[in-house]
Amino acid sequence: MNRFLPAKPADQKALLRYRVLAYTTAVLLIVLVFAGVPLQVWDHNLWVVRIVGTMHGYLYLVYLLVAFDLTRRLRVPLPWMVLVLLAGTVPFCAIVAERLLTRRFAHMAGPPDAASPLAAGAPLQ
Q: Which residues bind other proteins (CB under 8 A)?
A: 1-6, 8, 50, 54, 57-58, 61, 64-65, 68, 72, 75-78, 108, 110, 113, 116, 118-119, 124-125
Minimum distance from residue 72 beta carbon to other proteins (Å): 7
Minimum distance from residue 66 beta carbon to other proteins (Å): 12
Cβ distance 27 to 91 under 8 Å?
Answer: no
CA distances from 103 to 94, 95, 96, 100, 109 (A): 14, 12, 11, 5, 10
DSSP code of 89?
G
Minimum distance from residue 93 beta carbon to other proteins (Å): 18
Q: Exposed/middle/buried for 29, CB within 10 Å: 0-12, 13-18, 19+?
A: buried
In the bound state with other proteins, the residue whose beta carbon lies nearer, of 30 and 55, is: 55
Cβ distance 45 to 27 under 8 Å?
Answer: no
In the bound state with other proteins, the residue whose beta carbon lies nearer, of 33 and 59, is: 59
Minimum distance from residue 77 beta carbon to other proteins (Å): 4
In the bound state with other proteins, the residue whose beta carbon lies nearer, of 43 and 122, is: 122
